[in-house]
Structure 1
Amino acid sequence: MRVQGLAPANEAIYAAAAMGWERGLRWSLWTIVCAAPLPFGAAPGWAWAPLAVAVGVLTAVWGAGVAAGVLGWRAAARPGGWAYPLTALVLAWAAIQSLHGLPGAHPVWAGLADVLGQAPAGAISADPAATRAAVARLAMVGGVAVLALHLGGGAADRERLLTVLVVVAAGYSLYALAEMAAGWDTILGAAQPAYRDAATAPFINRNAFAAYAGTALVTAAALLAATVRRRGWLALIERAWPVLAAALVLAAALVGAQSRGGLAATAVGLIAVAFARPRGREPRWLAWSVGGGVVLAAGSTLALMARWGAVGEQVAERLHIYAATLELIAQRPLLGHGAGAFAAVFPGVRPPALADPVVHAHSVYLQAAAGLGVPGALGLLAAVAALAVACWRTARGGSVAGRAGVGAAALAATHGLIDFAPQVPAVALTLAAVIGLGAARPSRA
């Protein structure tokens, strides 16, 4: 960065300070992303709240650097820039939902008159506190995507960040495999409430761990594809053996998680990585990648044959939840029931056939529409789609990070159809980081 009015020596010092500032923010961000799974996938409020504060501080420091002219502004590939206003509008709408005294108050507030004698000033959300928490989580995830886009550095820096993510995820996966092999009934010293026969690593839910490991696996596939393209197949062993070893560990842990949805979504992500190859290159790698995705899906299907016996019962249960969620959407299609308020309003439409408590719709799309309303959900999906298309454009131009972003977006889109795993904070942060890295307009640095 050139600054007018400074002597050459001072200009060099200024540029070095700016570079150090950016590098410090970059690795601070990546430390947050890589550490997010440690406290139970950051699912409890006490686990994700410090992450949200840390992301907020980093965003403020980065913003101050941009405003002062010390840090530059990295443009997103088209149409990734649309994600900024769309996400801002969704956040603003969710915040409005939590305010009391506005028109369109949720009917639950009128029902309080029977208890209190006088209905309090209502809010659009049925649970304003949960909506405010949802706003904080969404801002945290969006902040990570923005910071990853702007602070990722050049192509080599982004590949280095992705490699670190893959290796760290492989470390979590080794813990998951050891946990399953040893028959431990604890997670980080705490009692494991469920899934004691599956690999979950620091996560409580095996589907969430599968989404996390799958994201790392499709990222590893993008890195390995780049190695083959540049240096040939032998380089997988000579140069890329840490990523190759990590990919094998991730694949083993993914099967050990016994998540059918996670395996299917990862297969889709791998195939997306294959099709997002640079223009005019890698015709053979495409076939190998697609074949690998199919083999993974087929092999995993056989490995989890015992679990497929109960699929009919579970599908019936999900269909009951989906039908009830659609009823919630029909009740307030425009205003919604409030972001994050699903658990508060679902009992009102709960089918008698459901025996267990329901706190998620097991569909990111339906739950978003029930909470934000259809327009708000479409705005959020459009923001994510804009970043995914940006990743596709950069991938086709030769960006390894863009290719990984395409795979991560495909995995999230697929898994979100049938489960809530992409909503788990650590999974969402990892997806946002990978997609954000890939959406940045490529540079030669």
Structure 2
Amino acid sequence: MARLLRRIVFFGLLALVALAPLPYGSNLPWAWSLLSLWVGILVVVDAIACLMSPPEGERQFFKRIKIPMVLFFIVVAWIVVQATPGIVPAIAHPIWAEASAQLGIRLAPRVTIAPDLTWDALMVLLAYAGVFWLSARYGRKRENASLMLKFFVLVSTAYAVYGLVVYFGGWETVLWYHKTAYRGDLTSTFINRNSYATYAAIGLVASLVYLVKILARDFRDGGTARQITRKMLDGTLVSAWLPLVGVLTTGTALMLTHSRAGFVSGMIGVFVALLCFRFSRAVSSRFGNVMIAGAVLLAIGGFAISGAGLEKRFEYLEGAQKQRMHLYDAVSAAGTQALSTGYGYGSFESGFRPFKDVKLSPYTWSLAHNSYLEFYFGTGLYGLVTVLAAFLLVFYQITKGVFSARKDTFYLIIGTSAMVIVGAHALTDFSLQMPAMGIGFVFVVAMAFSRNVIEQNRRQQV
């Protein structure tokens, strides 16, 4: 029974990753609520299976994950305190006292100025944590990790193919709805081009690493360039059709989003992956040099073919950047007025409204276009520092394994590159706050984290 329940959880997780981008990137209340419910059910079923028959390696797994987990739940606990009425009245936002005086009724004071938005955002954050938890646990089995990698490459390729078909077909639609924004840009099933650009960049890195994993066998066996090429043409490239198609489609889709920050962060992620190949033990130095040269040529060729729209977007960079920097200054200044408490996680639009000046007032600014600043605005400085510590600790553990692991380096390279992509793009946008993008990101990172746990355990046994 425990084995059956685990199979249900594992394939339920894969189905979640596949379907999350479909309803507009799950960027609708019903979509992210259903997604969160789905994750919650999977976590409960997995817990039941563990009670019936605990899997092997639990002690080592908890040892590796306990510090990031504790840091994360410190932040969760603080968000709960923010949204719960009357816990610490002394640090409540003054808006509650003002509203009570104006309405003539007593309102329970809270730290957050928008409790419903805070609870909603916390629900999605816990869904991310649930996906990370399940992916890290089930990725410990080599066959599961291999299937997870292939599956994500397949899913990201499928959404890229859909986006390319819609784009070159000239249909300005997302599924069956006509676009009201980002016309002329490839967005696949996402509403926002920047969010899909990050998703496509992670898919590009996953496809690239998977392709290298297959091709590296021929280089590892040695031989002349002609012999290696013959072996590749005889069979290896046939078995590598999926990641090869994935590289071509996700790379093209990324450029056609015309997202400047998405493209730059994606190229940084690819460059990080290539550096990891070159200086780790995953492939020979000779193959690493070939990969770097090939990637540069492909990037130049792809940009020449489909980068015209992206080039135009870069021409408008200076004006847009000035406005964006003004927004960042305003958010930072507003955050200093609630440095320790924040205004409530997920309540940026409501909380920032009083701080908009003449330059910012014509726009709604429902998001800060910088995930770090928005988290700081919502949870305060200590909340930001704590969640960053958890993020950086996971990044350190994965990246350290890239240069010491023996068998699972490819998975660790994907995790490292994905974290660099999202970390870089979060400086100028909010892709991590789009549920489908966030789910795909933590799925890939947790897969890498799980393989690092196995590799660390293997070295200790040796």
- TM-score (ref. length: structure 2): 0.87
Q: Is the 8 A contact 2:348 2:377 kept in 1?
A: yes
Unmatched tracts of structure 1, length 5 or more: 1-16
Task: Report the alpha carbon displacement of residue 124 of structure 1 after superposing the two structures with TM.
Answer: 0.5
Which ranges of 4 or more aligned residues in structure 1 deviate by more than 6 Å? none
CA contact (8 A) 2:3 2:49 kept: no
Q: Which residue of 1 aligns with 2:454?
A: 442
Name 1:347's counterpart in structure 2.
353
1:407 and 2:417 matched: yes
Aligned mate of 2:393, from 378, 386, 407: 386
- For 1:411 and 1:362, the matched residues in 2 are separated by 16
Query: Kindly tell me: are residues 70 and 144 of structure 1, through their superposed partners in 2, closer, same or farther at Cα, counting changes over 3 Å?
Result: same
User: What does 1:201-350 correspond to in 2, within 5 Å?
Assistant: 201-232=188-219, 234=232, 237-277=237-277, 278-279=280-281, 281-291=283-293, 300=303, 303=308, 304-350=310-356
One-letter amino acid of the structure 2 residue matched with residue 87 of structure 1: F
Counterparts of 1:268 and 1:296, CA distance in 2 = 15
Matches within 5 A, 1:142-161: 142-161=129-148
Q: 1:39 aligns with which of 20, 23, 33?
A: 23
> Are 2:349 and 2:365, in contact at CA under 8 Å, matched by a contact in 1?
yes
RMSD: 2.2
1:343·1:358 contact (CA, 8 Å) conserved in 2? Answer: yes
SS in 2 for 1:437: helix
The percent identity for this pair of structures is 28
Question: In the TM superposition, what is the alpha-carbon distance from 1:290 to its structure 2 partner?
Answer: 4.4
* Residue in structure 2 matched with residue 423 of structure 1 by the alignment: 433
Amino acid at match of 1:250: T
Aligned to 1:27: 11
Shift of residue 325 of structure 1? 0.8
Q: 1:59 aligns with which of 43, 59, 66?
A: 43
Q: Distance in 1 between matches of 2:159 and 2:391?
A: 27
Is this contact kept in 2: 1:183–1:196, CA < 8 A?
no
Higher mean alpha-carbon deviation, 324-333 vs 67-76, is at 67-76
Q: Retained in 2: the 8 A contact 1:387–1:436?
A: no
Tell me the secondary structure at the aligned position of residue 454 of structure 2: coil
**Aligned-pair distance for 1:404?**
1.0
| Displacement of 1:213 | 0.7
Question: Secondary structure of the equivalent of 2:342?
Answer: coil
Change over 3 Å in CA distance of 1:225–1:258 after alignment to 2: same
Q: 1:229 to 1:52 in 2, by over 3 A?
A: same
User: Residue 91 of structure 1: which of 76, 99, 107 is its match?
Assistant: 76
In structure 1, the residue matched to 2:153 is: 166
Give yes or no for contact 1:328–1:349 (8 Å, CA) kept in 2: yes
Number of residues of Structure 1 aligned to a counterpart in Structure 2: 428
State which drifts further: 19-28 or 292-301.
Answer: 292-301
Stretch deviating more after TM superposition (210-219 or 81-90): 81-90
Q: Distance in 2 between matches of 1:410 and 1:293?
A: 18
Deviations 1:274-317 (A, max 9, x none): 23344374323433454566567666495322112211121011
Gaps of 5+ in 2: 220-227
Q: Is the 8 A contact 1:274 1:285 kept in 2?
A: no
Task: Say if 1:94 and 1:339, in contact at 8 Å, map to a contact too.
Answer: yes
Residue aligning to 2:225: none
The secondary structure found in structure 2 opposite 1:362 is coil
Q: 2:426 is paired with a residue of what secondary structure?
A: helix
Normalising by structure 1, we get a TM-score of 0.90
Report deviation, 1:95.
Answer: 1.0
- Residue 123 (structure 2) pairs with residue 121 (structure 1): no
Deviations 1:342-395 (A, max 9, x none): 111111111211222101111111111111111111111121222222222343
SS in 2 for 1:353: coil
| Post-superposition CA distance 1:206-250 (Å, at most 9, x none) | 001101111111111221222232233626513212111121111
Structure with more of its chain in helix, by fraction: 2
Partner of 2:119: 132
Equivalent in the alignment of 2:53? 69
